[in-house]
Amino acid sequence: MEKKVEIPDKVEVKVNEMCVTVKGPNGELSKDFDDPRFNGLIKFEQKGNVFHVSNSDEKRKTGAVVGTIAAHTKNMILGVTVGFKYEMKILYTHFPMTVAQSGDEIQIKNFFGEKGFRKAHVVGKTDVKIEKETITLTGNDIEEVGQTAANIERACKLTGRDRRVFQDGIYRTGRHLKTGEAL
């Protein structure tokens, strides 16, 4: 099986054994795909402006890993050329929540009238912008931005209450490229 990934003009892809590094106008991303189960079975090569990922055997698992590596590489190329943007909405009914950022964590205060605060970790180089009832997360690495959004949603998780009645929390409402195109 072989997957091909188109490389734009302003992007440079380098391979060092099983580590793929992508450089572009917005920065550099690197990911290590080393897995002892697939050593020697997966090959990377670059011909002109096309990046090839292939495997030497015809097993399904190895073919699935080839597709996964190609998809990760496409996301890395999108990240260094355009970037990713997630939008989140703060919802509450009775107790007004306040959300603030301090360092690499988001603090959620007055969630359901709780005296303490809940916190969510900001992963990597994700930029967080909080405006009234919306939170905007931007960054070059889709995994970092997505995990930060998941951490914020998980910090507002309710237990012991009916989700249909108690809908307070912070929820992801949009996932886009920084240009505004939907993913």
CATH superfamily of 2-81: Ribosomal protein L6 (3.90.930.12)
Residues 71-122 pLDDT 10s: 999 999 999 999 999 999 999 988 899 999 998 999 999 988 889 999 999 9
The CATH 3.90.930.12 portion of the chain extends over 2-81, 84-177
**137 three-state secondary structure:** strand
Q: How far apart are CA 60 and CA 6, in angstroms?
A: 24
Output the six-digit token pair for 101: 């950022």
Residues 143-158 pLDDT 10s: 999 999 999 999 988 8
Question: For all residues of the chain together, what is the average pLDDT?
Answer: 89
Q: What's the pTM value of the predicted model, to 2 decimals? A: 0.88
In order, the DSSP letters of 2-24 are EEEEE--TT-EEEEETTEEEEEE
Q: How far apart are CA 11 and CA 180, in angstroms?
A: 21
Q: Return the pLDDT at 113.
A: 86
Query: Of all residues in the chain, what percent carry a pLDDT higher than 70?
Result: 100
Q: How far apart are CA 59 and CA 102, in angstroms?
A: 48
Cα distances (Å, whole numbers) of residue 177 to 110, 126, 138, 141, 161? 32, 14, 9, 11, 35
Check whether domain 84-177 has CATH 3.40.50.620, yes or no: no
Residues 37-58 pLDDT 10s: 777 788 888 888 898 888 887 7
